[in-house]
Amino acid sequence: MREITADASLVAFCGLYCGACGSYLKERCRGCAGNDKAAWCKIRSCCKEKDISSCAECKEFTDAMECAKFNNLMSKVFGVLFRSDRAACIRQIREIGRQGHAEKMAASGTQTIKR
């Protein structure tokens, strides 16, 4: 079992914090960046194509919620089920950087900012 630590490399492209995710902590996943099985994810592939670390660096959309790839049906369902506000995560990364976001999420022990 891994421990929760503050590590900017564990911030997912969509703003979630893999470092506090159960799958990562149970060593079932390497985190979004290293998880090539997540090729299905349009957010991940878009960020990789743009060569950016997350939607917080996107020049196309200053508000990720206006992007249909970010604000897709699956993310809407996920957001309701898990009370997850990934757009708030992206805003927080913009405000305090990836490491700052990782520190806040590690301190709260959650993979997302709650709605």
Chain residues binding ligand SF4 by CB under 6 A are 12-14, 16, 32, 38, 41, 43-44, 46-47, 50, 55, 58, 60-61, 64, 67, 69-70
| Closest to ligand SF4 by CB, 6 or 38 | 38
Query: Is 57 strand, coil or helix?
Result: helix
Cβ 81 to ligand SF4 shortest distance, Å:
13
Q: How far is CA 51 from CA 44, 55, 58, 101, in A?
A: 10, 11, 10, 20
Cβ 14 to ligand SF4 shortest distance, Å:
3
Cβ 76 to ligand SF4 shortest distance, Å:
12
Q: How far is CA 78 from CA 5, 38, 53, 98, in A?
A: 24, 16, 21, 22
